[in-house]
């Protein structure tokens, strides 16, 4: 487990955090872990919703040029012997 140290932590914020922790029956450390876990899970979920699959990005990028290109004629591969 890692140890997190927060310098210059505002006393008023610490008091508010203590009040919330007491309401939840947690220590300050438990409350901070809970807040961080919930917040980071929410951020990850929002980021995942915003991600666009690579295929859709490519399709959108080249959508308007597909009909203007002439396809070359295809021939059977040469017989290598």
69 located within any domain: no
Q: What angle do CA 27, 42, 31 make, to 5 degrees?
A: 5
Domain-embedded: residue 62: no
Residue 41 lies in a domain: yes
Confirm whether 60 is domain-assigned: no
Is 32 within the bounds of a domain?
yes
The predicted pLDDT at position 67 comes to 64
pLDDT band with cut points at 50, 70 and 90 for residue 81 = low
pLDDT tens, position by position, 30-62: 999 999 999 999 998 888 877 778 888 888 887
Q: Which residue has the higher pLDDT, 72 or 14?
A: 14
- For residue 33, is it within any domain? yes
Domain housing 32: 12-52
Cα 12 to Cα 51: distance, rounded to the nearest angstrom = 38
Integer Cα distance of 53 and 47 in angstroms = 13
d(Cα 54, Cα 60) in Å, to the nearest integer?
A: 10
Domain count, the chain: 1
Look-up of token digits 């876990």:
37
């Amino acid at each position: 487990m890692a140890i997190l140290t927060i310098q210059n932590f505002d006393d008023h914020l610490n008091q508010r955090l203590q009040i919330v922790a007491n309401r939840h029956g947690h220590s300050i450390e438990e409350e901070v872990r809970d807040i961080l876990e919930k917040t980071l899970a929410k951020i990850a979920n929002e980021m995942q919703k915003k991600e666009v699959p690579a295929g859709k990005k490519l399709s959108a990028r080249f959508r308007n040029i597909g009909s203007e290109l002439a396809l070359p004629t295809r021939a059977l591969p040469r017989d290598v012997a």
